[in-house]
Amino acid sequence: MATSNPSERKLKHGFSFLIKSRGMFDISDVLFVGNDWSVSQLKVVLLGGRNSGKSCVGNLILGKEEFVTKERTSCSRRLGVVAGRWITVVDTPGWWCDFSAGDTSKLVKREIVSSVSLCPPGPHVFLIVVKASSAFSERRCRAVEEHVDLLGDGVWGHCLVVFTCADRFLHKGAEECVERGGAALRRLTEKCGRRSHSVVLNDPTDGAALLLRIQELMSENGNRAFEMEESISRAAAEEKRAVEERAHLRLIGMKRHRALLRDRLRPITNIRIVLLGAKGSGKTSALNTILSRECRRRVGRTAQCQVGEVVKFGRQLTVVDTPGWWMNYFSDESSHFDQREIVLGPSLCPPGPHVFLLTIRVDRAFTETHRRSVQEHVELISERIWSRVILLFTFGDWLGATTTEQYIESEGQPLQWLVDRCSNRYHVLNSRTKGEGFQVRELIGKIEETMSGGSSSWHYEIEMKVLQEVERRMRREAESVRKRTLKKEQQRRRARARLGEWIYPSLNQVFVQSF
């Protein structure tokens, strides 16, 4: 360790270290000499919203690129020796910054709790990572509180808020960050015993300073590790084991069913698909992936149904994209326009689609409200279509090493209801990957199996009366809007005429008087 001209400094908790006298320092320059650095291993857990910089903070602490800076559903643990000490850092999956814990998938919540068991007997410090440049609202604060509270009592005494910044020129000190952040951020730091620290993510000197701040917190806690209530860790471990067992059974059942269908497979050269799902659930991205369309620009909101075609793997593929519904809306809350587009979709690939792909995002909780919303919107087309629906789990990159079956079994009743309704037909799609050939090939295989699954007709017979009914309702609505506008216009005209009568006589009087 290079310590040219070292000088000793003392921090307020009696913790001392040797440091190069040139002001700036990096991790290898820090030489710990006090008894406080006595724990043989330092264990740190990183917590925070998505893209807040958790993995980068982990890399900063360990002094090298150990964590991939990509959000995942599972924890990752890395060990390193820094300044002669073993350091364990556990990176946890992040939550959507403004979403409550109820909107986070059960899988992610369980992983956050499991992070403690990855560094036995428990972590010394939890770093709550917050992006310094983003506004910290009351909602964001509540999201942090709810997710940190999953770890049980006593956790806040081990927490340190870390503000991250990517650029030295934009960097502000922790106190300034808290002051500018407003009441919500002040409340969060209060909960953490007013402990906060600010780092520039690509600057190794900030890694050393952060370690010193961590050491300070450890000293405050008498080097005690955080002990999670046994009931919480036991429940998480039991749940994980049960999920794995159920996932294994589901996988076997699904494979057996597919093997049966494969025996009855009929050759097919023309496949028509309709994409259904909530807005933002990845339908348009799925269409681009299936049709191998390069889409460098950000995918915009789909206003109307659109059709895409391609010849791929020796098949003519026709895919209809629909605008979808708001994920928390029931069907009577969706606009008539959205309802019509959903019902219109199947008629855009005449004589009718072979399958419906129902997109579900794997990076969010799937609640009973979402389930009811999906059921009601799908059944706007017809209750008969369920036998042709395949669940398309989008945002597959988010799953990482977690299997689809583990995700399904973790998420609970509402999602399992949907999977059962689709007779265990599902496929996971990652629209961010470049080598999409394999996943699309596999999807086509599943579509062909669905079509061989005993349905007498090759394709779905469109129920024209449903479409006519929605169009009738739209016409009625347009007519009532027209009448309302007309009435308003007449009222306005009458008011203007009255105003004219009132203003012009008085103007005439002024005119006469002035002569």
Question: Which residues in this chain contact ligand GDP in the complex, by CB under 6 A?
Answer: 277, 279-285, 298-299, 302, 324, 394-397, 430-432
Token output for 472: 């009738």
Considering the rule CB under 5 A, would residue 284 count as an interface residue with Mg ion?
A: yes
Say which residues have a Cβ less than 8 Å from residue 265's Cβ, sequence separation at least 6: 448, 449, 452
Q: Which region, judged by CB under 5 A, interacts with Mg ion, from 47-55, 281-289, 365-373, 379-387?
A: 281-289
Q: Angle 194-228-406 (CA atoms, 0-180°, nearest 5)?
A: 110
What is the distance, to the nearest Å, from the Cα of residue 195 to the centroid of all Cα atoms in its chain? 28
Could you check whether the bond before residue 351 is cis, i.e. omega within 30 degrees of 0? Answer: yes
| Complex with ligand GDP: residue 204 or 280, whichever CB lies closer | 280
Binding partner selected for residue 215 from Mg ion, ligand GDP, none, CB under the kind-specific 5 to 8 Å limit:
none
How many CB atoms are closer than 10 A to CB 350? 11
- Per DSSP, the residues of 457-473 read SSSPPP-HHHHHHHHHH
How many CB atoms are closer than 10 A to CB 86? 13
Query: At closest approach, how far in Å is the CB of 324 from ligand GDP?
Result: 5
What is the distance, to the nearest Å, from the Cα of residue 96 to the centroid of all Cα atoms in its chain? 5
> For strand 125-131 and strand 16-20, is the pairing parallel, antiparallel, or unpaired?
unpaired
What whole-number distance in Å separates Cα of residue 136 and Cα of residue 234?
A: 34
| Complex with ligand GDP: residue 299 or 307, whichever CB lies closer | 299
Query: At closest approach, how far in Å is the CB of 176 from Mg ion?
Result: 41
Residue nearest to Mg ion (CB): 302
Using DSSP, state whether 361 is helix, strand or coil: strand
Binding partner selected for residue 346 from Mg ion, ligand GDP, none, CB under the kind-specific 5 to 8 Å limit:
none
Query: At closest approach, how far in Å is the CB of 281 from Mg ion?
Result: 9
Query: At closest approach, how far in Å is the CB of 251 from ligand GDP?
Result: 22
What whole-number distance in Å separates Cα of residue 45 and Cα of residue 155?
A: 11
| Complex with ligand GDP: residue 189 or 284, whichever CB lies closer | 284
Query: At closest approach, how far in Å is the CB of 71 from ligand GDP?
Result: 8
Binding partner selected for residue 43 from ligand GDP, Mg ion, none, CB under the kind-specific 5 to 8 Å limit:
none
Buried b vs exposed e over 273-296: b needs ≥16 C-beta within 10 Å?
bbbbbbebbbbbbbbbbbbeeeee
| Complex with Mg ion: residue 61 or 305, whichever CB lies closer | 305
Query: At closest approach, how far in Å is the CB of 280 from ligand GDP?
Result: 5
Per CB under 5 A, which of residues 292..351 are in contact with Mg ion? Answer: 302
Binding partner selected for residue 336 from ligand GDP, Mg ion, none, CB under the kind-specific 5 to 8 Å limit:
none
Query: At closest approach, how far in Å is the CB of 342 from ligand GDP?
Result: 12
| Complex with Mg ion: residue 302 or 367, whichever CB lies closer | 302
The binding site for Mg ion (CB under 5 A) comprises 283-284, 302
